[in-house]
Structure 1
């Protein structure tokens, strides 16, 4: 059986990665750290064991900033793109928007962290509401 492989990287191409195996804990988060790190109301994440993530771009591994007692936020120091978080566990949590194929079914969130921190007007519309049908 072939091991699944996922690739992606920052907007300038300096930070590139290859992640192997099954992505874990696909979720969205609206905590203050995620909002400030990304400039977005919500981030979508998947996790991989650190040994399953290889930094293959010309910039090597991303720059990090210690954001909590157990984790560091990862970003490209050239273009500023959000890469994700590198936890002490060791886990690498990658934001799904940086994957070359971010639409894959295995990236679909199964839960939302810090729901209470999102604005009251923020909600996911059903397919029917998004289709433009009355």
Structure 2
């Protein structure tokens, strides 16, 4: 009997208004949180939760197509909805799309749980982030 190949997991999400939607096929890579100043400004939050996918595994499916981008550094652009302004993630020059966990339809999926935290020094001393304590 022939074994069936395991189908990659599909992750779906999008912006607040639904104009920009995405589908990303797993596995999800490098789920983490970040408290750098750029992530704070991009999201309006003290800590941003991210997960990465190779860009060839992310498809933009909503009526607006691809998100708008702002060139935020010499290696990456921040992605957002041109209609509602929702932050969606970052599109890196290396073929990686980092998506914000809050943009997923099911952000509580266990495999999306951040495994580490970067740029701890960027957060206020009173802000405590526990990663991996699930």
Normalising by the residue count of structure 1, what TM-score does the alignment of the two structures yield? 0.91
- Please, which of 93, 97, 103 is the counterpart of residue 98 of structure 2? 93
Q: CA deviation at 1:124?
A: 3.7
Counterpart pick for 1:50 among 55, 67, 75: 55
Offset at residue 43 of structure 1 (A): 0.4
1:17 maps to: 22
How many residue pairs end up in the alignment?
126
Between the aligned partners of 1:67 and 1:56, the Cα distance in structure 2 is: 24
Alignment of 1:1-134 (within 5 A): 1-124=6-129
> What is the CA-CA distance between 1:21 and the residue it aligns to?
1.7
Tell me the CA shift for residue 92 of structure 1: 0.2
Measure, in 2, the Cα distance between the counterparts of 1:111 and 1:27.
5
Q: Which runs of 4+ in 1 moved over 4 A?
A: none
Gaps of 5+ in 2: 1-5
Distance in 2 between residues matched to 1:101 and 1:37, nearest whole Å:
21
Structure 1 gap segments, 5+ residues each: 126-134
